[in-house]
A and B are shown apart, each in its own frame.
Chain A
Amino acid sequence: MTGRKKTLRTIAAAVLAGAVITGAAFAEDVVVKLPHVGLLAQKSGKGPRVAELKDGDKLQVVGKEGTWLRVKAGDKEGYVQANSVGTGQGGGSSFNQMIAGTSEASSAAAGKGLGEALKYAQTKGMSTAGLDRMIALSKSLTPADWEKFNSQAGK
């Protein structure tokens, strides 16, 4: 092996090692800390959402760019704001945290709300169908919708 080839191999090995180290630094598990977070296709809200995440969902961080994290959620990958996630368990409901020791408190510990709004609606004899429809419509944007919307901007 010539001296030059040896140098190139050394450089290549160093680059590879660096990539592995960098990857290892990003290979961090985090948990969604807010009730609902959109996994965005790009580093902006002005685009499709890859998935809807909820409090307690586990994510793998694969990159960090400013205030953004590139994360994997199962087989899906996208961006979330770094302040939407943390380590440990999810946020849960502090209504539930007040009643530690009850069976409901364990749900809070698991990072789930208990659907207080649903119970409120039931108490008042109100339907949640309208809200469900509003959420479904609001979260149903496709890349084609955004493409059309953006193509008409400035007109």
Chain B
Amino acid sequence: MKTTKTILAAAILCGLVGGCGSGGSSSGGGGGGLGGIAGTGISLGQFIPGQAGQYADAGVKGLSAASMNETDEDELGRSVAIAATNRWPVLDNPNLTKYVTMVGLSLADATGKPDGNWVFGVLDTPDVGAYSGPNGYIMVTRGAIQLMQDESELAGVLAHEMGHVIDRDGFKTVQTANLVGAGMEAASAADRRVAMFNQASDLLVNTVFSSGWNQGQETGADTKAVQLLIASGYDPHGLARFLQRMQAAGGSRGARPFGTHPGTGDRIAHISSQAGGRGGATNADRFAKAKADAKL
């Protein structure tokens, strides 16, 4: 009975990994989940209960014979967040950060892991972007918030990043990379571990900030975003509106619509199609007040 309950509980667990930035990398995306979020159609990350709660991705090789688990993913997420916060400072505005965090946590209920490690931050740069690291480290830039016009747009961007986390895109990128290179076999176990982790971090940081996710991953994150927005009562068209504005802004403000594959136009069409005729909250006044208070 207890075992059954454990399996059932674990089957609902949502994998927390991801990262988002710009272009395109390997294939991946959703991953057939063992469970879903009722009413949203969200397919959750694979989590199979095993020793020490390890993720079991049987056909995914790399890093080592051992599967990575949640602790490793968290450390990788921290590496991405460290890289981001060394590239740009964290905005020194607690009220705006709290506001962004509350919008994000309002979406977290629909992920199935409201008690998860959701960390939200604002990066102090005029560049327009949003990024995420494994296990729930989500960052949006000041420039992106300046470009947004209501809370559903902010929620859409955060939800897109959370989609990468839910889909465990970062985890899959690292696992498929086969990081154990020639010559490493002779190194000590401790040196090998450090080297592998640093290689994994480098790969993920490069993916998030330079090469970007691939078409499947971006489309998957957009799909999750729309589902999270709908489940949370937000206007699901918010993300498409923001992408349109980014597209219009072009490169003049460093706007890169976090993903060059597929094209932004295709993404907007996909999101709009998914959102259909649904509406929802935009909380435009609350968003405007938060921006004004932060002098954005």
The chain A residues found within 8 Å of chain B, CB to CB, are 33-40, 44-46, 55, 67, 79-84, 86-87, 89-99, 102, 104, 113, 115-121, 123-124, 126-131, 133-135, 137-141, 145-146, 149, 152-155
Q: How far is the CA of A117 from the CA of B288 in the complex (A)?
A: 36
Chain B residues with CB below 8 A from A89, complex form: 52
Partner pick for B193 among A33, A96, A129, A155, CB 8 A cutoff: A96
Name 5 extra pairs, CB < 8 A, besides A127-B82, A130-B81, A134-B85.
A95-B193, A98-B65, A120-B79, A137-B97, A141-B101
Chain B residues with CB below 8 A from A93, complex form: 69, 71-72, 75
Chain A residues with CB below 8 A from B98, complex form: 137, 140-141, 145
Is B275 an interface residue when CB atoms closer than 8 A count as contact?
no
The chain B residue with its CB closest to the CB of A95 is B193
A39 to nearest B CB, angstroms? 8
A91 touches B71 (CB 8 A): yes
* B interface, over-half SS: helix
What string of 1s and 0s marks CB contacts (under 8 Å) between B119-144 and chain A?
A: 11100000000000001010100000
B53 touches A91 (CB 8 A): yes
Chain B residues with CB below 8 A from A33, complex form: 53, 70
A109 to nearest B CB, angstroms? 9
Is B272 an interface residue when CB atoms closer than 8 A count as contact?
no
Partner pick for A116 among B105, B139, B197, CB 8 A cutoff: B197
The chain B residue with its CB closest to the CB of A68 is B115
Q: How far is the CA of A134 from the CA of B283 in the complex (A)?
A: 25
Number of interface residues of B (CB under 8 A): 72
A133 touches B71 (CB 8 A): no
The chain A residue with its CB closest to the CB of B94 is A137
**With A37-B117, A137-B98, A153-B281: A117-B52 Cβ-Cβ less than 8 Å:** no
B283 touches A155 (CB 8 A): yes
A77 to nearest B CB, angstroms? 14
A58 to nearest B CB, angstroms? 16
A-B complex: 4 closest residue pairs judged by Cβ atoms: A130-B85, A45-B114, A117-B78, A134-B121
B37 to nearest A CB, angstroms? 11
The chain A residue with its CB closest to the CB of B106 is A46
